[in-house]
Amino acid sequence: MFFHYLWGVIKIGPKIELPDFPLLLAPMEDVSDPPFRLVCKQYGADLMYTEFISSEGLIRDAIKSRKKLDIFDYERPIGIQIFGGDEEAMALSGKIVDAANPDIVDINFGCPVKKVVCKGAGAGVLKDIDLMVRLTKAVIKSTSLPVTVKTRLGWDDATINIMEVAERLQDIGIQALSIHGRTRQQMYKGSANWKYIAEVKNNPRIKIPIFGNGDVDSPEKALEYKNNYGIDGIMIGRAAIGYPWIFNEIKHFFKTGEHLAKPTIVNRVEVCKLHLQKSVEWKGEKLGLLEMRNHYSNYFRGIPNFKDTRTKLVTLNSSAELFELLDSVSQMPELQAL
């Protein structure tokens, strides 16, 4: 079994080497697709995961599920994340993922969404650690790749079981654990409790890398959590949506204690256009334009008097018109100082 540090490097399995204190892009449904991952990689993400993929969908050969297996060499190291509540289905999907040749197979035991939990998957498995162990073991046996897990603290405040989860999953062979500092009951409300993440990391039995997730949305907070909780790296989710610059901003702040200059309106437009271009190339014109609508508000968050332009961005149905509109945004005199 292959664990942990080598001369300031974080290792996952025998081959994957990450920089000391890596920044990970969280797997987010309908967000962490290849176009989004491309811009995050360009701006400093060290390890990324696909959107989570249903094991049942993979076995049924569902088009949407199979499409999520698309990965590209420039993304490496990259993990494909799967979820499910049936051992046989998880084992079969592990073999399918193995054939797609990612660097890591990740298992989602943290998604709190009702439609996932009701199927006994995602965070629903937190109610049954024995099942979690069996599902994980089934995937480990089905693949030659390192297996990692992303989970939450527990089902609710009365059943926080993350220490037992960490120990038992490490014992059967997972190579890293990412912990979102909320319970399933919290969903995404309230504050993430990193105290429990730190307790797992500081457990002398735990030798695998422990990555923390939840509420990191600034370089200052990233440094505070790094220093206070002793984790091996941070996974960033919602704060990267429409703002891939956050990875390099955090790294720069770690090194210098100073802030990188914020992206200008020209920077924002350039990255948004690249994201749009790749979205259309990967998904086709119709779907690519439709799904990009979820990102425009984030790319241009905080821009004054932008409501009319934002409305156009989410209603235009031609990529040519959208690129023309974005070019005009970067040339608006009133935005040049931003």
**Annotated catalytic sites, by residue?**
111
Which DSSP category does 43 fall into? T
Cβ proximity of 104 and 76 under 8 Å: no
- Record the tokens describing residue 113, joined without a space: 């969404």
Residue 55 dihedral angles phi and psi, to the nearest 5°: -60, -40
Separation CA 194–CA 196 (nearest Å): 5
Non-local CB neighbours of 1 within 8 Å, separated by 6+ positions: 173
User: How many Cα atoms are found within 13 Å in the side-chain-facing hemisphere of 337?
Assistant: 2
113 CB neighbour count, 10 Å cutoff: 15
Q: How far is CA 335 from CA 22, 51, 270, 272, in A?
A: 34, 34, 14, 16
Of 253, 235, 329, 208, nearest to 32 (Cα)?
Answer: 235
Calpha distance 99→93 (Å, rounded): 10
- Torsional sign, CA 309, 310, 315, 316: positive
